[in-house]
A and B are shown apart, each in its own frame.
Chain A
Amino acid sequence: MDYFIELFLGGLTRGSIYALIALGYTMVYGIIQLINFAHGEIYMLGAFTALIVAGILTMLGWNQVAILVIASIVAVVYSAAYGFTIEKIAYKPLRQAPRLSALISAIGMSMFLQYYVLLAQTSNFLPFPNLIPDFKFLEPIEHIVRSSEIVIYATTAIVMVLLTGLIKFTKIGKAMRATAQDRDMAMLVGVDVNKVISMTFIVGSATAALGGVLIASHTGQINYYIGFIAGIKAFVAAVLGGIGSMPGAVLGSLVLGMSESFFTGYISSDYEDVFAFLFLVFTLIFRPSGILGRTDTDKV
């Protein structure tokens, strides 16, 4: 039974991280119908930024919690700036172009960022300090769930609530939904669509960066390639949940995270990625619109 709970909580951890990334995919897709393949790289950049900030603050002798908070904030702001800039450089000029052009631009941007970090840093795995303090009350069940995992669940839950609030109740949130549903009409009621798109990239990048910092702290190592795998998995999760739908992205992420965890725990850990992508293939064959995706196609 302990093993089952361990796998379940492990799946929840994976799922939470996927969700933090998948939200950005699905929001951007909802607004401009683009799969932002550079999104995983934002997550990786978030982790690297946190590593650098944490390194500096550790040298200065700051305490663990302060380092975690400052490193997360810097990583989030820095990555959000990256997300904003990527849209301006790689996607905005192509907004009227065929979708394929923007997609290729996204893949190019993804590779650019990966190799830029590879050259600026290193191709080896770098150790990432444990920024999350060990909670005393978790000691008896330490073998099942670690404190970093608790922090991941809590952060993901808080981000979800805040995002839902943002989308549902704020003016910019309404503008985002309106833009996603009918961009020209949103312009006709006075929405500055460029601002809405920038805002979407900023919010999506911020949550992905947060995911990057948390998972790096949890696993204890990072390299330039972590964004690619995590990004693709989160993309699978977003498609599974129904691309364009935010609750779908979260649900898809949890389903994928759990299934991966149980699959590796009970069947084979070697085939983990094979399993994840099989999941994608079957989703696309049997339910292309995803679990919560809308079945209607483009309006005429």
Chain B
Amino acid sequence: MLEVKNIQTYYGNIQAIKGISLEISEGEIITLIGANGAGKTTTLMSISGIVPPKFGDILFMGEPLQELSPNQIVALGISQVPEGRRIFPYLTVMENLDMGAFLRNDTDEIQKDLEYIFDLFPILAERRHQSGGTLSGGEQQMLAVARALMARPRLLLLDEPSLGLAPLIVKQIFKIIRKINQENKTTIFLVEQNANLALQVAHRGYVMENGRITLSDTSQNLLANEDVKKAYLGI
């Protein structure tokens, strides 16, 4: 479904991604783990077109993305839940969700998705007229996921959904990630520092270090891998 072929991405003169390749098939949950500053977020921003790669190709359903603008990429069916949630703080919960469905015109289907989302996150229905900035961290993370789902993505990019959240809420969020994957067949690309958690939900994983992919395997094998254990699982 998504093929990243040897991309290199720069911020000005600084190279953040030094040629990585990865592949995601339809229906999978794939995780990208690695330490701070390894280039995980940049990888997602490259896919979304915010920081397009300087070299290499990104193909989504066979279509090259690197020449497209971010809104065109969203229109193809790729939505992102960025690091730090990035809720629009002065828009209400409802308006944030509306923004998620910005490119859609099918009012009836949007309404259906909205009901589905309020079913998934009842707290958001309760808070729908509150402005986004007044929500707690966990609620904001739920809203960020919900907002991305409102676009009805085929591929959902999640950047550090566990960041700064209480363990109980993290558990809840991950349960929902799995649910979205199983019920809607949404393909998920999950970037995480919390490798243990990520490898438990993902089918396969990539390990990233200093702008390069150093390992790729099934989650089970990665969980059993001695290097991964030592470096990322703290065992």
Contact = CB atoms under 8 A, between A and B. Distances in A.
Nearest to A194: B69
Contacts of A174: 91, 95, 98-99
B79 to A, nearest CB: 8
B215 interface: no
A184 interface: yes
A184 B98 CA distance: 17
A177 interface: yes
Interface string B83-119: 0001011110001001110110000000000000000
Contacts of B79: 188-189
Contact of B50 (A181, A184, A191): A184
Contacts of B90: 177, 181
A190 B74 contact: yes
B88 A192 contact: no
A175 B96 CA distance: 10
Interface string A188-202: 111111000000000
Contact of B99 (A184, A189, A192, A193): A189
Given A171-B102, A190-B71, A190-B75, A185 B86 contact: yes
Given A182-B86, A185-B82, A190 B151 contact: yes
Interface in A157-199: 171, 174-175, 177-178, 181-182, 184-193
B70 interface: yes
B43 interface: no
A188 B91 contact: no
Given A184-B50, A185-B82, A190 B102 contact: yes
Given A174-B98, A175-B102, A182-B86, A189 B74 contact: yes
Contact-residue bracket for chain A: 10 to 19
Interface in B33-85: 48-50, 69-71, 74-75, 79-80, 82
A126 B51 CA distance: 52
B86 A190 contact: no
Given A188-B80, A190-B102, A178 B88 contact: yes
A188 B48 contact: yes
A193 B98 CA distance: 17
Contacts of A178: 88, 91, 99
A189 B91 CA distance: 14
Interface of A: 171, 174-175, 177-178, 181-182, 184-193
Interface of B: 48-50, 69-71, 74-75, 79-80, 82, 86, 88-91, 95, 98-100, 102-103, 147, 151
Given A189-B74, A190-B75, 10 more contacts: A177-B95, A181-B88, A182-B88, A185-B88, A187-B48, A187-B50, A187-B71, A189-B151, A190-B74, A190-B102
10 contacts: A174-B91, A175-B102, A178-B88, A181-B89, A185-B86, A188-B70, A188-B79, A189-B102, A189-B147, A190-B74
